[in-house]
């Protein structure tokens, strides 16, 4: 088998050894004569998978004992509602920092629940950067402050997380586990798994227990974080296979040197692509401004849309998958999550360089 | 490999050919060099999986064009809340028929949203039966009437669905696709996949489009059925692998002769176990009363708890998995969903018969 050069934005590439291990034991898990998918979520085999994944994540992300790890469903989209349903009380205001479409969606759902305030936004400059602290409005007295740690569509990323006196909530769907994070400083982190953690269908929550206990949700048992916290994410049947895959990805992440090792590799990978952009003499233009560029999604445009179309078509012929920009803004995007190999990025950088040279030469000829 | 004799209540047995097919193409889906899990949910390969599963379900369950099929997340537990959030308006009352713990849970969530009324209940007789129509209270003018089509814990099942002038909502998590159903008569059907449809992590909804359009939810975009209906269940990233597995299970169901073929087999399977109970001269006692017994979960007790414990231990030694009754009521339960083979039921019936004979003989000897 030739592995695809997979730069999809999510669901995205998974580590090959993880896929191979899961394939091997897919029908007959540990000699039980059953698939892990066929087992009770309250039995000993699944229990080891469930608690194992939790323990590995705790260790890899250095989750302090003050915080709880939950495995839920519904993706970030359900979290957009669950966060305010649980934590935005009457007469309180939740703050949102807008750094892209996903932040906007999170804000919109909070507006349905209670009062909100935009503390900072880079929307007017086309979300090319993360607003610096000096651009923030007043964030004290907020119920919480919500940020999106990495912006897949625009290719920007928070490179440092702010200190603040209010509970900090982060949608880390697209860069969780890509670098060391001071998990303890967050009130709540949420992340759909389908970029860095595993297949789609499981959502990871890391939340401060003290804060969780202050939830005032009375709307729905399922939508109450405490329901899941007190049941160790076994209140109802969890997405067992997705959590099993998550556990295997976490095991692989340990073998990569944990978040430090992964961050080093991710920076090496993104440097290959940013170098191709920066050395292209304006042929490729990065969407993100210097200092805000993401190590997970490298976004760029070409001189015009015809060239972009041609570039994407040729890239596709060369086996590169998923390089189209998000349908909302167009352009090109290479998503280089943890499981995308360095070699694939090298090939893409080479392709970009050679396409640029061929094109420049040709356009020169035809001038 | 020796296949386990898997009688788990859910997650439950899956068809072996489905598991084998998924294993084969797990790492390299249709020669793409990628797993189906690694692909964009907006790409052509996944699109074929998604629309294929929907088309097969429509065909197998005879879903009329008046109805929409959705693939959501969160299991029946989230539906307990979503149904009233969408359809229980102020000044309206929702009716619930209680036939077990899951009905009670559904009612409890509706009570948080609006006014409710118990139209019938078999709780006082330990949920041994489905209330007959003559026992119902007045159901006209309800916002909807909610039933649980099969009760896994008590082993009872609605064998006919009532005609009613209000929208009928059914939790079919534990018997969907086990028999032909007049889908068109329901306002909304919901089912977690992990019993008859596939792995846990995907929830199937079949709903009347006209009724959906009357939803008044303004609380959350994700919790609005119309969000998912208008986006063909691609509003946010769906649980792609679970839906892929669902598609394979549906393909297998077609090969079994569809819902007619499956119903015939399920009745043959349950007959084996009910015969063992009925011919045991009171050694095994079925929990369900005659006429209400489920073809999905056969529940029974032994003369005393010590014997039950011994029976379950010996059954386990003989390779039978998952025969313990639900932790809330104890006893024994054999879950014989679609994918549990006839041969496994035969072996269990033989084991039950031989255990009974051995025990009767022994207890006679020691008297």
Q: Is residue A90 exposed (0-12), middle (13-18) or buried (19+ Cβ within 10 Å)?
A: exposed
Q: Of the given ranges (A214-218, A273-277, B120-124, B233-237), which has the lowest mean pLDDT?
A: A214-218
Per-residue confidence (pLDDT) for residue A212, from 0 to 100: 96
Which residues fall within 8 angstroms of residue A107, CB to CB, at 6 or more apart?
A: A96, A98, A116, A118, A146
CB–CB contacts below 8 A, A to B = 214
Q: Is B76 annotated as a binding residue?
A: yes
Identify the three-state secondary structure at position B302. Answer: coil
CA distance B97 to A63: 45
Q: Note whether B165 contacts A: Cβ–Cβ < 8 A.
A: no
Q: What is the mean pLDDT of residues A203-227?
A: 95
Beta bridge partners of B323: none
Nearest-CA distance B45 → chain A (Å): 12
Per-residue confidence (pLDDT) for residue A169, from 0 to 100: 98
B158 among known catalytic residues:
no
Residue recorded with tokens 């919109």: A108
Q: If we measure between CA atoms, which residue out of A183, A185, A207, A168 comes closest to residue A72? A: A207
Q: Which of A54, A58, A158, A171 is catalytic?
A: A171
- In which residue ranges of chain A is CATH 3.90.1150.10 found? 257-358
Confidence of residue A365 (pLDDT cuts 50, 70, 90): very low
Q: From residue B316, how far is each of A73, A200, B298, B319, B351 by CA, in Å? A: 33, 35, 17, 5, 11
Parallel, antiparallel, or unpaired for β A145-148 and A168-171? Answer: parallel
Q: Is residue B163 exposed (0-12), middle (13-18) or buried (19+ Cβ within 10 Å)?
A: exposed
Beta bridge partners of B228: none
Question: CATH: 3.50.50.60, 3.40.220.10, 3.90.1150.10, 3.30.70.20. Which one for B257-358?
Answer: 3.90.1150.10
A19, B41: Cβ pair inside 8 Å?
no
Per-residue confidence (pLDDT) for residue B217, from 0 to 100: 81
For residue range A134-156, what is the model confidence (pLDDT) as tens digits? 999 999 899 999 999 999 999 99
Per-residue confidence (pLDDT) for residue A257, from 0 to 100: 98
> Which chain A residues are Cβ-neighbours of B235 within 8 angstroms?
77
Nearest-CA distance B360 → chain A (Å): 31
Q: Is residue B104 exposed (0-12), middle (13-18) or buried (19+ Cβ within 10 Å)?
A: middle
Q: What is the mean pLDDT of residues B223-250?
A: 98
Nearest to B219 among A26, A112, A202 (CB): A112
Confidence of residue B364 (pLDDT cuts 50, 70, 90): very low
CA distance A93 to A74: 25
Tell me: cis bond preceding A18? Omega within 30 of 0 counts: no
Confidence of residue B74 (pLDDT cuts 50, 70, 90): very high
Asked if residues A320 and A5 have their Cβ atoms less than 8 Å apart, the reply is yes
CA distance A181 to A359: 41
Nearest to B81 among A20, A220, A242 (CB): A220
For residue range B257-286, what is the model confidence (pLDDT) as tens digits? 999 999 999 999 999 999 999 999 999 999
Phi, psi of B164 (to 5 degrees): -150, 155
pLDDT at position B367 over 80: no
pLDDT at position B360 over 80: no
Q: If we measure between CA atoms, which residue out of A321, A329, A330, A327 comes closest to residue A348? A: A321
Q: Is B236 annotated as a binding residue?
A: yes
Q: If we measure between CA atoms, which residue out of B212, B94, B104 comes closest to residue B148? A: B104
CATH architecture of A16-255: 3-Layer(aba) Sandwich (3.40)
Nearest-CA distance B19 → chain A (Å): 6
Mutation site, A7, A14, A35, A249, interface B, largest B CB count within 10 A: A35
Which residues fall within 8 angstroms of residue B34, CB to CB, at 6 or more apart?
A: A3, A4, A6, A13, A321, B28
Q: Note whether B220 contacts A: Cβ–Cβ < 8 A.
A: yes
For A42-48, the CB contacts below 8 A with 24+ separation are A42/A234, A42/B327, A43/B8, A43/B322, A46/A240, A46/A244
Task: Compute how many other C-beta atoms are within 10 angstroms of the C-beta atom of residue A160.
Answer: 8
Phi, psi of B201 (to 5 degrees): 115, -5
- In which residue ranges of chain B is CATH 3.40.640.10 found? 16-255
CA atoms within 13 A on the CB side of A80: 24
Q: What is the mean pLDDT of residues B316-337?
A: 93
> Which chain A residues are Cβ-neighbours of B8 within 8 angstroms?
38-40, 43
B58 among known catalytic residues:
no
Q: Which tokens in the block code for residue A156?
A: 């920007």
The DSSP code for B161 is P
SS3 of chain A: the string is CCCCEECCCCCCCCCHHHHHHHHHCCCCHHHCCCCHHHCCCCCHHHHHHHHHHHHHHHHHCCCCCCEEEEEECCHHHHHHHHHHHHHCCCCCEEEEEECCHHHHHHHHHHHHHCEEEEEEECHHHCCCCCCCHHHCCCCCCCCCEEEECEECCCCEECCCCCCCCCCEEEECCCCCCCCCCCHHHCCEEEEECCCCCCCCCCEEEEEEHHHHCCCCCCCCCCCCHHHHHHCCCCCCCCCHHHHHHHHHHHHHHHHCCHHHHHHHHHHHHHHHHHHHHHCCCCCCEECCCCCCECCCEEEEECCCHHHHHHHHHHHHHCCEECCECCCCCCCEEEECCCCCCHHHHHHHHHHHHHHHHHHHHHHHHHC
Q: Note whether A217 contacts B: Cβ–Cβ < 8 A.
A: no
Annotated binding site of A for pyridoxal 5'-phosphate: 76-77, 102, 152, 171, 194, 236-237
Q: Of the given ranges (A15-19, A322-326, B224-228, B352-356), which has the lowest mean pLDDT?
A: A322-326
> Which chain B residues are Cβ-neighbours of A73 within 8 angstroms?
73-75, 78, 201, 239
Q: From residue B216, how far is each of A215, B68, B78 by CA, in Å? A: 25, 18, 17
Per-residue confidence (pLDDT) for residue B53, from 0 to 100: 98
The DSSP code for B84 is H
Mutation site, A70, A224, A239, A319, interface B, largest B CB count within 10 A: A239
pLDDT at position B172 over 50: yes
pTM of the model: 0.97
> Which chain A residues are Cβ-neighbours of B33 within 8 angstroms?
1-4, 6
Per-residue confidence (pLDDT) for residue B326, from 0 to 100: 86
pLDDT at position A363 over 70: no
Q: Note whether A331 contacts B: Cβ–Cβ < 8 A.
A: no
Average pLDDT, chain B: 95
């Amino acid at each position: 088998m030739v592995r695809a050069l997979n730069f999809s934005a999510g669901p995205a590439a998974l580590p090959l050894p993880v896929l191979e291990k899961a394939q091997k034991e897919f029908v007959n898990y540990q000699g039980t004569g059953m698939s892990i998918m066929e087992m009770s979520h309250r039995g000993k085999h699944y229990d080891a998978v469930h608690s194992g994944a939790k323990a590995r994540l705790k260790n890899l992300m250095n989750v302090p004992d003050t915080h709880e790890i939950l495995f839920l469903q519904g993706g970030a989209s359900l979290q957009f509602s669950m966060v305010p349903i649980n934590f935005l009380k009457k007469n309180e205001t939740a703050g949102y920092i807008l750094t892209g479409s996903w932040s906007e969606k999170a804000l919109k759902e909070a507006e349905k629940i209670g009062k909100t305030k935009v503390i900072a936004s880079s929307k007017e400059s086309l979300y090319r950067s993360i607003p610096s602290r000096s651009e923030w409005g007043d964030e004290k007295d907020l119920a919480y402050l919500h940020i999106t740690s990495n912006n897949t569509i625009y290719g920007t990323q928070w490179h440092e997380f702010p200190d603040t006196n209010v509970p900090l909530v982060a949608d880390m769907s697209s860069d969780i586990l890509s670098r060391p994070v001071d998990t303890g400083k967050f009130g709540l982190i949420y992340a759909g798994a389908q970029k860095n953690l595993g297949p789609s269908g499981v959502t990871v929550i890391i939340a401060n227990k003290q804060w969780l206990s202050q939830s005032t949700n009375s709307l729905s048992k399922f939508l109450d974080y405490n329901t899941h916290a007190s049941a160790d994410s076994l209140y109802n049947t969890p997405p067992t296979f997705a959590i099993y895959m998550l556990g295997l990805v976490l095991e692989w992440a340990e073998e990569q040197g944990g978040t430090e090792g992964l961050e080093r590799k991710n920076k090496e990978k993104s440097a290959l692509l940013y170098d191709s952009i920066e050395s292209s003499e304006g042929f490729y233009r990065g969407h993100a401004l210097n200092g805000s560029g993401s190590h997970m999604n490298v976004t760029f445009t070409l001189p015009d849309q015809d060239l972009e179309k041609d570039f994407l078509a040729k890239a596709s012929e060369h086996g590169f998958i998923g390089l189209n920009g998000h349908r909302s803004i167009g352009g090109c995007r290479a998503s280089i999550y943890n499981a995308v190999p360095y070699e694939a990025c090298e090939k893409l950088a080479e392709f970009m360089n050679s396409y640029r040279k061929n094109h420049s030469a040709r356009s020169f000829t035809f001038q």
